[in-house]
Amino acid sequence: ARTFHADHEYVDLGLSVMWATCNIGEHMPEKSGDYFAWGETTPKAKYDWSTYLWCNYTNDVWECLTKYNTQSELGAVDKLTTLSLSDDAARQIWGGEWRMPTSKEIYELLTECDWEFKETGYEVISKVNGNSIFLPFTGFNTQNQVKMQSEQGYYWSSVIHKHYRDTAYYL
C-alpha cells in the first residue's frame, strides 16, 4: 500500500489524493518534522507577525498583510485564497507533485477515515480500503517555542479561512 514519489513515501487511502507517510523535515511517521508559518517554505527561529513573510509588520497587525488577502482592512488586497506553488512548503521542499492539502481534502480525511487515538497521535484508517497514515501530535510553534506538542497536532491546508481574518484552514 505504500509507494514512493519524488523520494517520499505516500499511502493510497482510496480518497481523492494520496497522503504522505511523514511530515516535511522527517522520515519517521511518529515525528513532528519541521514547523512552517502558512505560505512560507523555510522553518525559522521565531513565529509571530513581526517575522511573517507576507506581513509588513507594524504595531497594528490587522493592516499588515501583503499577500493572500481578501479584506482591505488587513492590507493590500490580492484576492488570493489558495497557496501558490511557489509558497507551498511541500512543493518547494519535496518537489514533484507534492503540495499542501486543500480544506476539502482535509475534510475528506476527517469523514472518510476512522481516527484511532494513540499515545503520541492518531492513526487515520481509511474506511475505503483499510490503509492508514499516522498523524503525530506536533503542537504548534509560536514566538520561539513549541507548545502542546504532546497533546495536539496542527496541520495546515493550502486555503485561507473565509471567516477568520488571520489564518488558514487547518486540521
pLDDT in tens, 36-56: 999 999 999 999 888 999 998
> What is the grid cell recorded at 28?
519517521
> What is the grid cell recorded at 107?
475534510
**Residue 126 clears pLDDT 70, i.e. is over it:** yes
**Above pLDDT 90, what percent of the chain?**
68
Best CA proximity match to 115, nearest among 134, 101, 102, 128:
134
Confidence of residue 7 (pLDDT cuts 50, 70, 90): confident
Confidence of residue 62 (pLDDT cuts 50, 70, 90): low
pLDDT in tens, 70-125: 888 888 899 999 999 999 999 999 999 999 999 999 999 999 999 999 999 999 99
> What is the grid cell recorded at 96?
514533484
**Above pLDDT 70, what percent of the chain?**
94
> What is the grid cell recorded at 21?
507517510
**Residue 6 clears pLDDT 70, i.e. is over it:** no
